[in-house]
Every structure is written in C-alpha cells, then in structure tokens.
Amino acid sequence: MSVVDQAIGRYPDVRRLLEVHERILNIQKGVREDSHKGTSVNWSNRTEITNLQRKAIAMRRPIASFIDFSIFDTVSLRITAKRLITLLVEQGFDRKEMEKLAEGIECRQRTISELAAGALGERIECLEEVSSRWGISPKILLLIADILIQPCLEAISLNVDPSFLEKWGQAECPVCGRRPIIAWLKSRKRYLACTLCGAEYAVDLFLCINCGNVDPTGLKFLAPDDKPEFRVDFCEKCRHYVKVIDRDRLKTPIPRGLEDIITLDLDLIAKNAGLKRLYFV
C-alpha cells in the first residue's frame, strides 16, 4: 500500500484531493525514476548541486534562479504535460483552454521550454507570453509548469547540505524560491516546508512569510479547539497566513508532501477569519 493510500484511509474527508495527488505522482513517475529527472544533468552527482548551492549562498537568491531552463528535456516534459492536461480536463478545467495548450505544446517546442523557464521564477514573462498566446490563466500555466519540473527540484532539495537549509533564514524557499504555506514547529523552532521541492528550512518564529513583518504584536494565530497540534499563524498587517503543525504535539505522523491537503480544514478557519492564503504567484 502506497503512502497516499494509507493517508486516504486515515483522512477520508480529503480523499478526492489525495487521489488526484496520487495520479499526478503516477504521471510524473517516468521522470522521477530517471536519474536526470527530465533534464540533461545527472542529479545523483553532487558536484552540480554544490556549485548551485555556492551561488545561492553568495547571491542570497534561491538555487532555481541559477538553473538554465535549456537543461530540461523537452520531449520528456511534453509527454508528461499532455498526460497532465488530460487529468486537468477530467478534474473540470476548461476543455477548450486545455486543448489549446495541448496543441501549443505539440506544435511548438518553445512552449514547453517557456513553461519550464517560467516555473524557475526568474522568467515569469515566459508564462505571460504563453498565457497571451493561448488565452490561459498564468496561474494554471504555473501549476502545470511546477508539476513538470518538480522531480528535478526535489532531487536538488534532497542533496543540498543541511547547513545550507538551516542557515538560510529567508522566507522564500532556498531551492525553488516559493513562499511555503506550511510551517513546522519543533523544540521551539519554526521550519517552513515547501510543498513543491520538499525543502524544510529554519526561519524566525516571529516573521510574516508574506510581507516580512517582524513585530510580534502584529503576528497572531488561530487554533482549533479539538486539534492543539494545528494552528493558523497570520499577520495583522497584510492578512496573509501560514498553516502550522506542531511536531511536538502531533499524535500521528503526516506524510511528507501531503501536509497542505491534510490540513485543508485550517484553510476554512482562515477563510472564515477573512485571511488570505499565500500563493506562488
């Protein structure tokens, strides 16, 4: 039984989302099993990651901003993208929009490269160009692009030095540059958990992940009465929130990568309080 199957049995309220997540993992399977992770780089060789890590430390910018999108295998990503588009149509995404994108990916090799470049964060204009060309929301394009390059980013995250993650200190992920929606508490320390690349890295207990507010008087939290291991941290200044899991109080381990889905009820608490969720774009 897979980790997702076990989670489905334990958290039946979010069964549908977990099933979709498992299908995405199956779509990514070919790329995940390849040591190159859909690129021209063998990520089992730590030399490349060490070089990227050194640049990230020197420039205080995430590793993804130093990755050239040309390393991605467009043939491999195109196959994955077409399967993903089929899944999105089944999940209710606009069929005509998805068919347009599938046509663009099939006929124009540049389109798939633009998606990869946009997901790396420094070339967001690429997603805007594809959005304008095919009439598809940039957020949908980023969702697709993230799924395409996720195996590569995860491979990097698994192989960076632990000290790099511990000393990073910034709100955005040191690997992919996203601002995570999930935080862990352990031994009075707070760690952000990136659901895209899987990196977990230390940040200040009193820091708004969205606007950078460090005034403790403006940083509040909401907690469900029946689940003391969970809470919502939010900033009164910008009204954004992150979902927090206290590992010291957690009774049942939460599988890595499934935290956002399993804590869906915290999003409802935040929404009812008029708070805004952090998104990648």
Distance CA 216, CA 143 (A): 33
Specify the pLDDT at position 123.
Answer: 59
Tally the residues of the chain. Answer: 281
Using one digit for the tens of pLDDT, what is the confidence trace for 236-275? 999 999 999 999 999 888 998 999 999 999 999 999 999 9
Specify the pLDDT at position 281.
Answer: 42
- For residue 138, is pLDDT > 90? no
Using alpha carbons, list the distances in angstroms from residue 130 to 49, 97, 229: 30, 12, 42
One DSSP character per residue, 208-275 reads -TTT----GGGEEEE--TT-TTEEEEEETTT-EEEEEEETTT-SSPPPTT-HHHHTHHHHHHHHHTT-
Distance CA 54, CA 128 (A): 30
Nearest-Å Rg of the Cα atoms of the chain is: 19
Distance CA 102, CA 83 (A): 10
- For residue 109, is pLDDT > 70? no
- Both structure tokens of 81: 């993208």
What is the set of domains in the chain, with CATH numbers? 3-159 (no CATH), 162-277 (3.90.1670.10)
Using alpha carbons, list the distances in angstroms from residue 270 to 139, 223, 232, 242, 243: 22, 10, 7, 9, 9
Using one digit for the tens of pLDDT, what is the confidence trace for 221-246? 999 988 899 999 999 999 999 999 99
Using one digit for the tens of pLDDT, what is the confidence trace for 39-65? 999 988 889 999 999 999 999 999 999
Residue 203: which H helix or E strand, with range? strand 200-203
Distance CA 153, CA 120 (A): 10
